[in-house]
Each structure stands twice: as C-alpha cells, then as structure tokens.
Amino acid sequence: MTIDTNVVLAILSIVMFGGLVGYFLFLMRHQEAAEPEREVYGVELLEQHYEPGATVEQPTPYFVAPIPASPDPLEISANLDKKILLGGLMLFALFGMTGLYFVIQGFASPLYPDGGIRAAAVEHQLRLDVRRGKALYASLCYDCHGRDGRAGTNPEGQVLPGLPLNKDAFKYEVLKDDPSALDTARRLIVTTIQRGRKRAEPAYSMPAWHRAEGGPLSDWQIKQLTDLIMYGSEEDWADMPHVREEHAQPVAEQIPPPPAVPSGDVVAANTCAVCHSFQQDRPSTNALAPNLWNYGAVGPINAELKALKDSGDADWLAKWVSNAPEVKPGTAMPAYGGQLGEDGVRLVVEYLLTLGK
Ligand code: HEC
Ligand code: HEC
C-alpha cells in the first residue's frame, strides 16, 4: 500500500490543531488555579467610629491584597510569553502546511513519479469516470454499439444499428499530439451523445441522451461516457460483457426493433423533398430535380431510365431510387438504397407510381 501524502498531511494538521486547542484549554485551567476568585478586603477599614467633637487623625483607607502562597503569578506570566509564542507558531505551521501542500502537489515526488499529487488525482478521477462510463455504456449503448464498442456484426451474426465508438479516430492516445483534432473529436462525441442524430425512418436514429433533450443523462454522465470512448483501454472494452452480467443483463446485444416503417409519402417528404417538389404549383428546390407531382403518369423522363423500363425490368424505378448514378452515370441524383433500405425504397416507389393518376 502506498502512503498518500494527502492523508499524512491531513493527520498532521489534525494532530497539530488538537494540540493547539488542548494547549489553550490547559492554559485557561492553569490561570484559573493561579488566580482564584477572592473576596474584596478592606471595606471594613472604612467603618470608623468617632466620639462627638473628637478630633481623630483620619487614616487613609488602603487596600492590601493577600499574597497567595503558590503558585507564583509572576512565574506563570513569565511562562505565558513562551506559551503564547508556541501556540502562535503552531497556528502558523498549520497555514504553512496548507501552503506547502499547494506548492508540492504540482511536482513529481518519489511517491508520485508521474507529475505529482495533482496529476495522480486527475488520473484517479479519469479511471473513476471510465469505470462509471462502462456501467452506463453497458446498460444504455451496448445493444446498438456492440459489446466491444465496434458495432458492425456481433458474434451471433446480427448487424448492429450503431457506429463504431472504440476506434482510433476517437482515442486520446492517438490524438494527443494534435490538440485541435482532440478537441474536434471530443466535441463530436459529446454533441452526438447529448443531442443524438435523427435519421429518416426506417433507418435507426441515434437517440438524444441529455436531460435538456428529454433524455436521462446529466452533463457529468455524458462526460463519463466520453471519457470511456476516449480513454477506455482494450481491457475496459473487453470487460463490457462482464459488466452486463453484473447488471443481470444478457451478453448478446438486444437489438431494439427498427423504427416503424413509415408510409411512402412520409419517406418522400423526409428524404426527397429537399430537392424535388411533389406539388403541381410549386417548383422543385433543386432546379435540376424534376417536379414529381405527376410522375406516375409521365415517368420515366431520362433516356437511360426509359431504356431500362423498356427492357422489361419491373424494378426500373427501384433501381433508380436505390442507385441513380448506376443507371445514369454522372447524374446529380444521389443513391438512396443504403439510407432507406429495401423497404424504404419499395414504399417510396409505390408512392411515386400513384402520383398524377
Ligand atoms: C437505438 C440504437 C442506439 C443506441 C441505444 C445508442 N446509439 Fe449511438 N448511434 C446510433 C446510430 C444509428 C448512430 C449513427 C447515426 C448516424 O447515422 O450518423 C450512432 C452514433 C453515435 C455516435 C457518433 C459516432 C460517429 O462516428 O459519428 C456516438 C458518439 C454515439 N452514437 C454514442 C452513443 C452512446 C454513448 C450511447 C449510449 C448512451 C449510444 N450511442 C446509444 C444508435 C444508437
Ligand atoms: C440532392 C437532390 C435530390 C434528392 C434529395 C433526390 N433527388 Fe431525385 N433527382 C435529382 C436530380 C438532380 C434528378 C435529375 C437526374 C437527371 O436527370 O440526371 C432527379 C431525378 C429523379 C427522378 C426522375 C428520374 C427519371 O429520369 O425519370 C425520380 C423518379 C427521382 N429523382 C426520385 C427521387 C426520390 C424517390 C428521392 C427520395 C428518395 C429523390 N429523388 C431524392 C435530385 C435529387
């Protein structure tokens, strides 16, 4: 066990403080014994008796304090100087140690070779954050981002909805020499966890987790997750299935059901309306993209697409929406097969073929 300098200093301070208080208590006691409460003498001396007309030499009333036997008050007050001095010294020693602590905590020492107490405290806090981050990850993120944080496919062969988080582009060790990349990575991670990332259905969205976004997590908890992602070691990630077991949750990812597949017009409104218009009297936002309000009646428009349809391919429009650049190389219409998935494409195609009919 290493001895924590903080603890030693704290114990020393408490002992000193106790000594100080004890010492003053002792002095007060001592003083009480040295100067006991006394009756007032000499009042009776004032009671004089005179005969009428007698001339009496008036004695001057005076007061004589009895001289106590022991202890000698002069002796006590002589020591008092030294005692007060000693007490003062102890008090200043307390201040001194506090100051010393602030000075030495930044430096490396035999007990803390890697940059002193402060660095050790930061490291300790970081390990604590990573550990809490693991518990949060295991219960909230595991099912989408995977037991090893790498998403992709799990050992059972299921495709997980999330993206890899345990990757070099997020790691402090990899980024530490590039402060701006480090800052960008941290901000991307924090913002994504806070606000989530909405994807058009039927794709999975990254949920928003911050309390301000209606989620369950505080700033501090989001920091703990971020610290796990940036500072977590391979052992931390490999430990994740055990954390799940500790929380009595299954090791296999429980992939949440995919978001409800919306109807074709919703897909079109969410995904296609950024370029295309679906209303007769409104031009498309993107001048190159045709207005599709009557596409079911007039389509296809492009020679390439017409040729594909004429070849008897029943999937001509699905092929276009999934991957237009494959049908017409160089077109400005992007591919949507990946984002919408088969179901999404099928729905929007069915919707397009009803338009204008
Ligand atoms: C419902 C599944 C789901 C859950 C649960 C989930 N995520 Fe995600 N997460 C996603 C998806 C999907 C994306 C990708 C979004 C996109 O398309 O850009 C993502 C993206 C991210 C990203 C951005 C990655 C990148 O490379 O841009 C981070 C960081 C992240 N998630 C962290 C978390 C954390 C931390 C938790 C737990 C608190 C969590 N996620 C829980 C689905 C999920
Ligand atoms: C980034 C803008 C953009 C988005 C978003 C977009 N398109 Fe297009 N789309 C275009 C452009 C540009 C064209 C014209 C392509 C050409 O003629 O080369 C086009 C053409 C089309 C055509 C006509 C093809 C033909 O020649 O008959 C259809 C149908 C179509 N898009 C469907 C969709 C659907 C469905 C979506 C949503 C899933 C969508 N587009 C999203 C830009 C876009």
Return the CATH number at 152. Answer: 1.10.760
How far apart CA 89 and CA 306 sit, in angstroms, is 98
Residue 211 has pLDDT above 60, yes or no: yes
Same domain? 227 vs 127: yes
Mean pLDDT of the chain: 86
Residue 232 has pLDDT above 80, yes or no: yes
The more confident residue out of 199 and 210 is 210
How far apart CA 215 and CA 196 sit, in angstroms, is 10
Same domain? 137 vs 205: yes
Tens digit of pLDDT for each residue in 114-149? Answer: 777 788 888 999 999 999 999 999 999 999 999 999
Tens digit of pLDDT for each residue in 163-197? Answer: 999 999 999 999 999 999 999 999 999 999 999 99
Same domain? 93 vs 194: no
Domain count for the chain, please give it: 3
* Residue 40 within a domain: no
Same domain? 126 vs 225: yes
Same domain? 98 vs 7: yes
Burial (CB count within 10 angstroms: exposed 0-12, middle 13-18, buried 19+), residue 192 = middle
Q: Alpha helix (H) ranges present in the chain?
A: 5-34, 73-104, 116-140, 142-145, 172-175, 179-195, 219-231, 234-238, 240-246, 264-267, 295-298, 303-310, 316-327, 337-354
Domain limit, last residue, from 104, 131, 151: 104
Question: 334, 316, 337: which is closest to 325 by C-alpha?
Answer: 334
Question: What is the band of 45 on the pLDDT scale with cuts at 50, 70, 90?
Answer: low
Residue 75 has pLDDT above 70, yes or no: no
Same domain? 281 vs 229: no
* Residue 169 within a domain: yes
* Residue 49 within a domain: no
Q: Name the CA dihedral angle for 50, 52, 58, 59, rounded to a multiple of 10 degrees.
A: -10
* Residue 112 within a domain: no
Mean predicted confidence (pLDDT) in 334-340: 88
Same domain? 199 vs 286: no
225 Cβ closer than 6 Å to some ligand 1 atom: yes
Among protein residues, the one with the nearest Cα to ligand 2's atom 36 is 272
Q: Rounded to the nearest whole angstrom, what is the distance from the C-alpha of residue 335 to the centroid of ligand 2?
A: 9
Q: How many CB atoms lie within 10 A of CB 269?
A: 15
* Residue 255 within a domain: no
* Residue 9 within a domain: yes
Name the residue range of residue 10's domain. Answer: 1-32+68-104
φ, ψ for residue 217 (rounded to 5)? -105, 145
How far apart CA 238 and CA 71 sit, in angstroms, is 76
The whole-number pLDDT of residue 50 equals 58
134 Cβ closer than 6 Å to some ligand 1 atom: no
How far apart CA 350 and CA 357 sit, in angstroms, is 12
Same domain? 97 vs 185: no
Starting from the CA of residue 167, give the closest ligand.
1
Same domain? 347 vs 280: yes
The whole-number pLDDT of residue 343 equals 84
Mean predicted confidence (pLDDT) in 286-295: 95
* Residue 44 within a domain: no
Question: What is the band of 27 on the pLDDT scale with cuts at 50, 70, 90?
Answer: confident
Distance of CA 259 to the CA centre of its chain: 29
In contact, 147 and 244? CB cutoff 8 Å: yes
Among protein residues, the one with the nearest Cα to ligand 1's atom 3 is 144
Same domain? 150 vs 205: yes
The whole-number pLDDT of residue 8 equals 82
Same domain? 169 vs 96: no
* Residue 84 within a domain: yes
SS3 of residue 217 by DSSP: strand
What is the best residue among 265, 275, 346 to mutate for testing ligand 2's pocket, by most ligand atoms within 8 Å of CB? 275
The more confident residue out of 351 and 340 is 351
The whole-number pLDDT of residue 9 equals 81
Question: What is the band of 102 on the pLDDT scale with cuts at 50, 70, 90?
Answer: confident
Same domain? 303 vs 340: yes
Domain limit, last residue, from 104, 132, 163: 104
Domain limit, last residue, from 215, 246, 277: 246
